Amino acid sequence: MTARPAAGGGTGARAVASRLTGLRATAERPLAGTLGEVVLDGGAVVVVKRADTPGAARAEAAGMRWLAATGTVRVPAVRGREGPWLVTDRVASGRPSAEAATRFGRDLAALHACGAPAFGAPPPDGPEDAFIGSAPLRNVRGDDWPGWYAEHRVLPYLRQAVDDGSLHHAEAAVVERVCARLPELAGPAQPPARLHGDLWNGNVLWDPEGHAWLIDPAAHGGHRETDLAMLQLFGCPHLERVLDGYRQRAPLADGWRERVSLHQLFPLLVHTVLFGRGYAEQAVAAARAALAA
């Protein structure tokens, strides 16, 4: 990391970090995409992120604060937000252990149990029009999970994928059959859980002490099995230990393993919209598995 004099103004990462933290920025290192690390006076390191879409930084900051307010999972502190910029504490890199994974599972169960006002409810200071990755995510409230999940988490991305040509009409009909049968496929009714909302492996960081930290949420009120299904979709170190820890704190309803594909349908359709045909085939496979469960 190369040190150079701190900027006194402007809109670069160092200037933003200095303004939002009140500390002089002494060094900067670019990371992947729109991320960068900035060293502050005293040695603290922050992550500076510039959102590509209007409102994304506001939604992410609100989600991080909503999750952190529970005192359950670890979430990097939000140092400040300014327009498209978001500044948070950096999580030092470490390696997960089986014991840490079990603890993470228990903490995740505690997070979910803190609840939300309704399915689709955004964080208190978050917008209804939010994002999951770079895809729009509408946080519209609903009292009935099957109907809400179909209308606001499956069908919008299904229609977009068909319009884009990533999903064929015959394949879309399979997903539509899942939506029609959701009341019988959804399992026992659950209260709205406080979800991370984009809980793939890349959004779980492990520090040198083995603690798990959650970043980049698409937080909202939802079904707790959706977070767990996303962890399983894209992999997570010591996954079975995470699930064991979760069930120690909050047992899951019978048939939850058979419903994994149902909950994976949403993120797979989002990925179809963002990345194309390869994920479309996985989404259709998940829909068929949900119908066969």
DSSP string, 62-106: HHHHHHHTTTSSB-PPEEEEETTEEEEEPPPP----HHHHHHHHH
Beta bridge partner(s), residue 206:
212
Can you name the residues that pair with 221 across neighbouring β-strands? 194
Which residue is associated with the tokens 């992410």?
Answer: 60
C-beta separation of 242 from 201 below 8 A: no
Q: What is the pLDDT of residues 193-216, one digit of tens each?
A: 999 999 999 999 999 998 999 999
Q: Residue 53: which pLDDT band, with cuts at 50, 70 and 90? A: confident
Chain segment 134-188, per-residue pLDDT in tens: 999 999 999 899 999 999 999 999 999 999 999 999 999 999 999 999 999 999 9
pTM: 0.93
- Banded model confidence at residue 226, pLDDT cuts 50, 70, 90: very high
Going from N- to C-terminal start, the domains of the chain cover 2-89, 98-292
- At 93-120, the pLDDT tens digits run 999 999 999 999 999 999 999 999 999 9
Helices (H) and strands (E) in the chain — how many of each?
A: 11, 12
What is the Cα 3 distance to its own chain's centre? 33
* Region for 216 from its dihedrals, namely left if φ exceeds 0, alpha if ψ lies in -120 to 50, beta otherwise: left
Mean of pLDDT values over 234-259: 96
The average confidence (pLDDT) of the chain is 93
Contact 26, 14 (CB under 8 A): no
3 state SS of 129? strand
pLDDT at 10: 56
CATH number, span 98-292: 3.90.1200.10
Closest alpha carbon to 99 in 248, 256, 257, 203: 248
Q: Is 206 strand, coil or helix?
A: strand
Inter-residue contact 136 to 129 (CB < 8 Å)? yes
**Please, which residues bridge with residue 45 across strands?**
39
Architecture (CATH level 2) of domain 2-89: 2-Layer Sandwich (3.30)
CB contact set of 65 (below 8 Å; sequence gap of 6+):
78, 123, 125
Give the pLDDT confidence score for residue 273 in this predicted structure: 97
The residues annotated as belonging to the active site are: 198
Task: List strand residue ranges (DSSP E) for 148-234, in order.
Answer: 193-195, 204-206, 212-214, 220-222
In 10 A of CB 58, how many CB atoms? 19
